[in-house]
Amino acid sequence: MRKSFSFVICLLLFSACDQTFLPKPQGYNRIDLPPHQFVKLADGYPYTLDYSESAFVEKDSFNLAEETWINLNYQGFGAKVHLTYKKIDGDQVDFKMLSEDAFKLTAKHQKKAYGIDEAILVTPEGYAGVVAELDGEVPTQFQFFVTDSTKHFLRGALYFNTATKNDSLMPVIEYIKVDMAHLMNSVKFLN
């Protein structure tokens, strides 16, 4: 009796599984991107610019001695745009030194980058700038600098505080690149 009962249970178990099991595909994060809206940077800096409402301004904690360095923190995306400003004085800090430093910082990523596309731009205020887009698993995908080449130099770089692969972050990267392009075109140096 016990053998026949076990046989019936096994028969029921095998007959109940008529579907083939397929593993579920790995899920993707849902990323809701708000519309692009901008606000003016508060007074107190030697420059003005428009930045995204999706970000908040925080003091840069990397170099506390530099009071004009700020981060635009996209907290919801785990991203920051680091903005570093230097006054060109011609003696200790000159345009050549600052631009070479900006190019060296971009070039440091050549080991991991599939490619680096650089472009020269002129802003509506007549300032010169360089934009660098980096492809691959690099910590910064977009960098720029804007300068009047005589008194002011502003550099920006996008960083993510996550181990997520860049291909998964691509919608956010593209979103912030639009914000950064608007930021560059709105820069105005004071004095």
Encode pLDDT of 90-106 as tens digits.
777 787 888 887 777 77
At residue 109, the pLDDT reads 61
pLDDT tier, 185 (very low <50, low <70, confident <90, very high otherwise): very high
Query: What pLDDT, in 10s, does the model give residues 19-38?
Result: 665 665 565 566 778 999 99
Which region among 82-91, 163-172, 174-183 has the lowest average model confidence (pLDDT)? 163-172
Classify residue 22: in a domain, yes or no. no
If you count them, how many residues does the chain have? 191
Q: How many domains does one find in the chain?
A: 1
pLDDT tier, 69 (very low <50, low <70, confident <90, very high otherwise): very high
Classify residue 138: in a domain, yes or no. yes
Distances (CA, A) of 96 to 17, 83, 107, 120: 73, 19, 16, 16
Q: Which of 41-55, 81-95, 109-123 shows the highest mean pLDDT?
A: 41-55
Classify residue 23: in a domain, yes or no. no
Mean pLDDT value across residues 46-51: 96
State which residues form the domain around 95. Answer: 35-189
CATH code (residue 71):
3.40.1000
Classify residue 14: in a domain, yes or no. no
